[in-house]
Amino acid sequence: MTRARVRADLAMQPGYHSPQVDVAVRLNTNESPLPPPAEFTEELVAEIAEIQWHRYPDRGASALRAAIADHHGVDASRVLAANGSNEVLQTILLAYGGAGRAALTFEPTYAMHGQIARTTGTAVIEGDRRDDFGIDVDLLRRLVAEHQPAVVFLCSPNNPTGTVDPPDTVLAALDATDGYGGLVVVDEAYGQFAPRSAIELVHDDRSLVVTRTYSKTWAMAAARLGYLIGPSWLVSELEKVVLPYHLDTMTQTAGRVALRFEQAMQRRVAQLGEERGRLVAGLTRLELDVFPSDANFVLVRPRELSGDHVWNALLDASVLVRNCSSWPRLDNCLRITVGAPEENDRLLAALQEIL
């Protein structure tokens, strides 16, 4: 039998993998260690009981989009919701990427920007971040002028480094791409942890979108719900490429109900921010280089041992973190999610023994 042949440009491309291992302490995927309040579950269960299961979902997710729009103080026509922010990114690249077009990333950054771009047939141009993981604006301008990428990806706070881009970086990207019609995408999956957001820069006169997710600060990783805020004309173009009824009724309902508990979310973010400070203080007392972070994770590099060795030793201690050693420009680096206090204590104790 002759096997069907996959596209040549995908044949050697690895998939996206994050180990799912049965361990006592899981600090590798930046999930919230704290669940939503019990009242959220109670109200969600009550609404799920009213779902008409024999009917398709609201194709336009109109009620959810209206609720998200109200949360951000924008018009619902500027909101698109999808199955996690990854589907949002995929939708953007289906509409604005593709064969003969390119996307610009600044490495190291979120791996799915390049992964989804390549999957949609979009070429990827990789710029290097500075040693402090910030973006050199002059380099950004040069790369945009040379390659005219259809999409420029920024990530703030950046995953896996925790770096927040200043507003000047976003404005420089917008200015550089304006002449030929490029699109700037700011990924704010961890936006609620950051001191500022690019959402305030979104306008119908700018080719700028900001993506968000419910997985992190809203403690709803199980729901797989993300969205973007962008110009209304751009949202209209994206609606042409999403699959019919792509966002199920339960997910739409969960997204609406969650927004009723914004204060609980803000308290959770504040609590995790305080715990991040305690974790960082513990990490800096060890033989580790610890990088500043404005997210719910911390990037570290062992000074004497290899990242692979430390990762495996932690796994033997039933503690799972993210091994970033193979990521661009991150030799021997590990990314550690901020967990609950008892989880962080167990991590620090294990690292103390290993190092």
Three-class HEC string of 207-222: CEEEEEECCCCCCCHH
| DSSP states of 116-172 | HHHHTT-EEEEEEP-TTS---HHHHHHHHHHH--SEEEEESSPTTT-----HHHHHH
Q: Which residues in the chain show pLDDT less than 70?
A: 15-18
Residues of the chain with CATH 3.40.640.10: 39-260
Answer whether 202's CB lies under 8 Å from 210's CB: yes
Answer whether 9's CB lies under 8 Å from 121's CB: yes
The answer for residues whose C-beta is within 8 angstroms of residue 175's C-beta and 6 or more apart is none
pLDDT of residue 1: 85
If we measure between CA atoms, which residue out of 68, 36, 64 comes closest to residue 265? Answer: 36
User: Does 231 sit behind a cis peptide bond, omega within 30 degrees of 0 on the bond before it?
Assistant: no
* Architecture label for domain 25-36+263-354: Alpha-Beta Complex (3.90)
- Exposure b/e, 83-100, CB count within 10 A at least 16 = b: bbbbbbbbbbbbbbbeee
Dihedral in degrees, nearest 10, Cα atoms 119, 122, 123, 126: -80
| Residue 299, burial from CB neighbour count under 10 angstroms (0-12, 13-18, 19+) | buried
CA-to-CA distance for 78 and 93, rounded, in angstroms?
A: 18
| Tens-place pLDDT, residues 8-27 | 888 777 766 667 788 999 99
pLDDT of residue 16: 65
Residues of the chain with CATH 3.90.1150.10: 25-36+263-354
Phi, psi of 126 (to 5 degrees): -110, 120
SS3 106: strand
| Residue 276, burial from CB neighbour count under 10 angstroms (0-12, 13-18, 19+) | buried
pLDDT of residue 17: 64
**Number of C-beta neighbours around residue 112 at 10 A:** 18
Q: And the tokens for 247?
A: 């966002």
Q: Where are the beta strands (DSSP E) in 265-318?
A: 288-290, 297-302
If we measure between CA atoms, which residue out of 145, 110, 107 comes closest to residue 127? Answer: 107
Residue carrying structure tokens 């919701």: 81
Percentage above 70 pLDDT, the chain? 99
**Number of C-beta neighbours around residue 262 at 10 A:** 12
Q: What angle do CA 308, 314, 320 make, to 5 degrees?
A: 95
CA-to-CA distance for 248 and 258, rounded, in angstroms?
A: 16
* Architecture label for domain 39-260: 3-Layer(aba) Sandwich (3.40)
